Amino acid sequence: MIRSKFSVSVHILSLMAGQPDEWLSSEYIASSLNSNPALVRKELSVLREAGLIESKEGKNGGSRLGKATKDIRMSDIFLLVKNGHVFGFAPNEPNPKCAVGARINGALDELFGEIDNSIFQKLQSITLAEFTKKYF
């Protein structure tokens, strides 16, 4: 998974959950994240494509939630930002002439799938509504 995308997405969705009737600008979101608008927009486009948010272009535009907070699960966000397995393989292709080298990545791939699934199960049990209760 890419380093911090999950945190960034949860942060964005939390801001929207707190002001469901406002169109939040990328500038505003960036200031809460202490980041910059272009990077936020990139992340917004991922969330939008998945239907979690909707955006409005032009003056007074911005983004807001596309679903009720109780209908957004933390696992939805996880699946969006996860790219390959959560755990990473070794940087180089192992030596195929070695008995272990030839097969380990297959075995790890299987294990990593199970790990991803454990995380998914956990996150599926938590909605954005429940999560944001912690600070609203």
- Contact of 44 with 95, CB cutoff 8 Å: no
| All residues at 6 or more sequence positions from 14 whose CB lies less than 8 Å from its CB, including other chains | 128, 131, 132, 135
Is 41 among the residues that bind its own copies (CB under 8 A)? no
Phi, psi of 24 (to 5 degrees): -90, 130
Q: How far is the CB of 128 from its own copies (least distance, A)?
A: 11
Q: Which of residues 72-131 bind DNA (CB under 7 A)?
A: 88, 91-92
Please list every residue from 23 through 82 that binds DNA, using CB under 7 A.
Answer: 24-27, 35-39, 41-42, 44-45, 48, 55-63
Look-up of token digits 């990077």: 39
Q: Which does 84 bind (CB under 5 to 8 A by kind): its own copies, DNA, none?
A: none
Q: How far apart (Å, rounded) are the C-alpha atoms in residues 98 and 118?
A: 31
- Shortest Å distance, C-beta 31 to DNA: 11
Structure tokens at 37: 């608008």
Residues that bind DNA (CB under 7 A): 2-5, 24-27, 35-39, 41-42, 44-45, 48, 55-63, 88, 91-92
